[in-house]
Chains A and B, each alone.
Chain A
Amino acid sequence: DARVTQTPRHKVTEMGQEVTMRCQPILGHNTVFWYRQTMMQGLELLAYFRNRAPLDDSGMPKDRFSAEMPDATLATLKIQPSEPRDSAVYFCASGPGNYGYTFGSGTRLTVV
């Protein structure tokens, strides 16, 4: 089965450190999303790309978060500097347009 691969699965880091999360979308999917999930807020959209171009990153704190797609097989989400309130599970999802998205297993980030 095709799947979205996220690395690392778990990350513990100290406040102030840079964190980079990676996502390999399903081959052929031209839409990629980054979501953050917390117990309080549920799933929140951070950014999404279509054909590698960022279309919406309004949900992302711009001063510390950045999302890129250096090529069609890799999406990255970077936090610099990280803060304890960034602790959450970060999901990447990909899809062939506006129908039927597949989620990765997530990166569980803990900032201490």
Chain B
Amino acid sequence: KNQVEQSPQSLIILEGKNCTLQCNYTVSPFSNLRWYKQDTGRGPVSLTIMTFSENTKSNGRYTATLDADTKQSSLHITASQLSDSASYICVVSARGNNRLAFGKGNQVVVIP
């Protein structure tokens, strides 16, 4: 079973609307959680990174939340733009080693 599960697998939203992506993980002991954005044909680009003590972190219209007790994170996109169409990947790092556990990504398509 994958240590990082993301939902929904894919979604289509209208330009200007908001959306929220979910990430549940089982990685332990927890070190940090990152959200990456991957455009088609490109490498993943870091959006946010949160450690155990951080509950929320923003990067422009992207806001990530973390509940380390329930092992859940979300990425909220506000006022979506066409350029937000991408795959959003949740990555969790365990304390004590450099191994990263990757989710399979949330595929977001923004339509005009």
User: A: which residues have CB within 8 A of B?
Assistant: 4, 31, 33, 42-45, 48, 50, 55-56, 91, 93, 98-106, 108
Q: Would A98 and B43 count as touching, CB distance under 8 A?
A: no
New A-B pairs, 8, CB < 8 Å, besides A91-B43, A102-B46, A103-B43: A4-B43, A42-B103, A50-B98, A56-B99, A93-B43, A98-B31, A104-B43, A106-B41
Q: B29: shortest Cβ distance to chain A, in Å?
A: 13
Q: List 29 A-B contacts (CB under 8 A).
A: A4-B43, A31-B98, A33-B98, A42-B102, A42-B103, A42-B104, A42-B105, A43-B44, A43-B89, A43-B102, A45-B99, A45-B100, A48-B98, A50-B98, A55-B98, A56-B97, A56-B99, A91-B44, A93-B43, A98-B98, A99-B32, A99-B49, A100-B46, A100-B49, A101-B46, A101-B100, A103-B43, A103-B44, A105-B41
- Residue contact B49 to A106, C-beta cutoff 8 Å: no
- CB-CB under 8 A from B42, the residues of chain A are 105-106
Chain B residue numbers with a CB within 8 Å of A103 are 36, 43-45
Q: How far is the CA of A91 from the CA of B97 in the complex (A)?
A: 20
Given the complex, which residues of A lie within 8 Å of B49, measured CB to CB? 99-100
Main secondary structure of the interface of A (DSSP, over half): strand
Question: Given the complex, which residues of B lie within 8 Å of A104, measured CB to CB?
Answer: 43
Residues of B within 8 A of A (CB): 31-32, 36, 41-46, 49, 89, 93, 97-100, 102-105
* Total of A-B residue pairs, C-beta within 8 Å: 46
Q: Which residues of B contact A101 (CB under 8 A)?
A: 46, 100
Contacts of A105 in B (CB 8 A): 41-43
CA distance A43 to B42 in the complex (A): 13
Enumerate chain A residues within 8 angstroms of B105, measured Cβ to Cβ. Answer: 42
A45 to B98, CA, bound (A): 11
Nearest neighbor of A44 in chain B, beta-carbon distance: B102
Output the least CB separation between A109 and chain B (Å).
14
Docked Cα-Cα span, A62 to B25, in Å, equals 29
